[in-house]
């Protein structure tokens, strides 16, 4: 599997960038994970939009779905230009029916419901989910091919269950939205030290931090993680390819 950060920011994107999103690929299958603000623009540096085979959204906050509408428009414009394509599956949870319904658009995209108990096949990936702790219902994800696994925490504050969920992963992509002085004070997010603790307790082989804050010096978030976890750790870098 290879996975490429498309955006790294939480809340809204910095100029000429995108909110936290990843492109995971294997066997020529291309799956976009989250589709927030700026993602459609950034993604085109790495993949023509018509080559996306599936999208998975962790939850329905704007920084994870803002560009779904634009993605749907790209499909319909392609259709009017005479390019026939099967409906693009967009996987999202069904706890919020109003937002889930919006994943389906004409015959261009179709919403497919997921929940924390599911283990589903998306192209070559076996994908499972774990509920996180966030102001709205949100799902962490694990992508497996053969014996390899990549786990993404999505948006969450500390939750013990995520340790087991991430156990032994080849790569943990953790949110780290908080500076240490805000850890435990801002609902729904973690700091670098918590991401590091998760990586350590789960025994993962590598840690990448994402959903980073726009203010302050984000190197401090990396510093907080490496104090706790001594495996390879870095801030997600847009366009860098991570392979497991």
The separation between the first and the last C-alpha atoms of the chain, rounded to the nearest angstrom, is 6
| Residue (68 or 228) nearer to Zn ion, CB | 68
131 binds Zn ion (CB under 5 A): no
Using a 10 angstrom Cβ sphere, with 0-12 exposed, 13-18 middle and 19 or more buried, the burial of residue 134 is buried
Per CB under 5 A, the segment of 54-62, 89-97, 140-148, 156-164 that binds Zn ion is 54-62
Distances (CA, A) of 22 to 93, 184, 203: 18, 26, 22
User: Under 8 Å CB-to-CB from 39, ≥6 apart: which residues?
Assistant: 6, 7, 18, 19, 21, 32, 66, 67
| Residue (1 or 103) nearer to Zn ion, CB | 103
Q: How many residues bind Zn ion (CB under 5 A)?
A: 2
Tell me the closest approach of the beta carbon of residue 188 to Zn ion, in angstroms.
Answer: 6
157 binds Zn ion (CB under 5 A): no
Q: State the pairing for strand pair 148-152/171-175.
A: parallel
| Residue (155 or 157) nearer to Zn ion, CB | 155
| Residue (61 or 102) nearer to Zn ion, CB | 61
155 binds Zn ion (CB under 5 A): yes
Q: What is the Cα 156 distance to its own chain's centre? A: 12
Residue of the chain from 30, 61, 102, 197 that contacts Zn ion (CB under 5 A)? 61
Q: Which residues bind Zn ion (CB under 5 A)?
A: 61, 155
């Amino acid at each position: 599997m290879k996975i490429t950060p498309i955006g790294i920011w939480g809340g809204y994107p910095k100029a000429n960038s995108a909110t936290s999103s990843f492109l995971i690929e294997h066997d020529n299958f291309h799956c976009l994970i989250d589709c927030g603000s700026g993602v459609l623009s950034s993604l085109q540096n790495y993949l023509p939009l018509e080559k996306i085979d599936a999208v998975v959204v962790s939850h329905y906050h704007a920084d994870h779905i803002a560009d779904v509408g634009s993605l749907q428009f790209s499909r319909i414009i392609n259709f009017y230009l005479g390019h026939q394509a099967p409906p693009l599956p967009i996987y999202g949870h069904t706890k919020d029916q109003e937002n889930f319904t919006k994943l389906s658009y004409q015959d261009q995209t179709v919403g497919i419901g997921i929940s924390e108990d599911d283990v589903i096949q998306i192209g070559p990936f076996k994908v499972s989910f774990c509920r996180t702790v966030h102001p709205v219902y949100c799902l962490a994800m694990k992508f497996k091919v053969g014996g390899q696994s990549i786990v993404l925490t999505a948006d969450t504050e500390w939750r013990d269950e995520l340790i087991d969920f991430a156990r032994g992963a080849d790569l943990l992509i953790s949110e780290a939205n908080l500076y240490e002085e805000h850890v435990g004070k801002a609902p729904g997010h973690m700091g670098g030290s918590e991401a590091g603790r998760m990586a350590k307790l789960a025994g993962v082989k590598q840690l990448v931090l994402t959903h980073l804050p726009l203010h302050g010096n984000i190197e401090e978030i990396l510093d907080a993680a490496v104090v706790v976890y001594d495996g390879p750790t870095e801030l997600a870098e847009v366009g860098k390819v991570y392979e497991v």
